[in-house]
Copies of this chain bind each other. A is one copy, B any other.
Amino acid sequence: MADQSLTTTSYVILGLVRTLQPCTSYEMKSLVKISIGMFWSFPHSQLYAEPMRLVEKGMLTENQETTGRKRRLFRMTPEGDSALDKWLRQPTSAPTELRDIGQLRLFFSDGLTTDEVRDLALAREKMHRDRYDELVATREKVASAATPAKLRTMEIGFKWEETAAEFWASVAADPPVGG
């Protein structure tokens, strides 16, 4: 019975529910927003839809209020717990998906002028520096409440924004030409 075909999103939901249970989709959304959602976007509709699928698969239980907002409160089932545990311990060699519009533009930039490429680079540099600042602010807010593992996860975000900002600065300083 029923650990068939869970997606990555499924495991994210399971992880969120284990962290927050009992919890509503909105609470999941709030946690996502200040953490993993900074790098892996999950539209809120997913955070409402996926838990329902997981209820049907026996991974979560749902208690819907009968009055007022009729909010849905989710909790782990033993099946959900063990599915999550199994996933957490599975080795993965899956590469990072690094989806960046700026990189795509640069890749296809052969027809642009030097100035246009520089503009792209400067805009991207600024974006990364802004995000770095956002991350700093977020970390300050959550530092006291988050677990060590969760805080540690943020570090790679800092590193990425830093590295990417430097990369774009170097492109702006010396735009590729020719092609």
Contacts and interface: CB of A to CB of B under 8 A. Distances in A.
A94 to B, nearest CB: 5
A49 interface: no
- A interface, by DSSP: helix, strand, loop or mixed? helix
A26 interface: no
Given A18-B108, A19-B108, A177-B148, A123 B93 contact: yes
B98 A116 contact: no
Contact of A39 (B85, B93, B103, B178): B103
A102 interface: yes
A141 interface: no
Given A98-B98, A103-B153, 15 more contacts: A11-B108, A15-B104, A18-B108, A40-B98, A41-B97, A91-B119, A91-B123, A92-B102, A92-B127, A96-B98, A106-B149, A106-B153, A107-B153, A110-B147, A149-B176
Q: Return the 9 tightest CB-CB contacts between A and B, nearest first.
A: A147-B179, A15-B108, A148-B176, A97-B99, A39-B98, A149-B176, A96-B100, A107-B153, A152-B176
A109 to B, nearest CB: 5
A129 to B, nearest CB: 12
Interface size, A (range): 35 or more
A95 B131 contact: yes
Interface in A64-90: 84-85, 87-89
Contacts of A177: 148
A12 interface: yes
Contacts of A176: 147-149, 151-152
A116 B103 contact: no
